[in-house]
Amino acid sequence: MMRGLLSSLHRVLVITMMPFGLFRRSSAAARLMGSIGALFFVIGMVFIVFGIDLGRVDAWIERQGGLLDAVGSALFRVLSFFVMLLGALLAALPVLHRTTGRAAVPPDERAGLGTLTVGLLFVYFAWFGAFGR
């Protein structure tokens, strides 16, 4: 029953976006926006069923704005730091493959200049996410 409700709600949301020229009916963006719309619709209905006023929820989120911004910024910096570490590992692979002995990694499976370049690009852009303002 719930699956049928969500499916029909998703279909309605996707169709209502078509007249505005936002998405083609069969596009992935239309499916994504329909799913997000259905998710928020269900969350709103749960709030209403349990007697939670959506205006009060909005006011509470507005009051918590500074905290939510700080938590989101910290999580983004941590994620950027891990992406930077991944990029550093990716950039180090060509060097490690060359120095660990010839029998360890066959020549056709060694990481090359492309891997080094992509790894350095990851590090470069993640640096600004992790340590930038």
**Does 17 have pLDDT greater than 60?**
no
Q: Supply the range of the domain harboring residue 59.
A: 2-63
Q: Which of 4-18, 22-36, 110-124 has the highest mean pLDDT?
A: 110-124
Q: What is the pLDDT of residue 108?
A: 66
Q: Are residues 100 and 59 in the same domain?
A: no
Question: At which of 47, 63, 79 does a domain end?
Answer: 63
Average of per-residue pLDDT across 6-35:
67
Q: Are residues 119 and 93 in the same domain?
A: yes
Q: What is the pLDDT of residue 21?
A: 57
List the Cα angle 128/118/77 in 5-degree steps: 25
pLDDT level of residue 132 (50, 70, 90 thresholds): confident
Q: Are 18 and 42 in contact (CB under 8 A)?
A: no
Segment among 11-25, 62-76, 90-104, 105-119 with least mean pLDDT: 11-25
Q: Are residues 11 and 29 in the same domain?
A: yes
Q: Are 58 and 68 in contact (CB under 8 A)?
A: no
Distance CA 33, CA 16 (A): 11
Number of domains, the chain: 2
pLDDT in tens, 32-52: 777 787 788 888 888 889 988
**Does 18 have pLDDT greater than 80?**
no
pLDDT level of residue 13 (50, 70, 90 thresholds): low
Distance CA 121, CA 127 (A): 10
pLDDT level of residue 96 (50, 70, 90 thresholds): confident
Mean pLDDT of the chain: 79
Q: Are residues 48 and 22 in the same domain?
A: yes
| Greater model confidence, 106 or 56 | 56
Q: Are residues 10 and 40 in the same domain?
A: yes
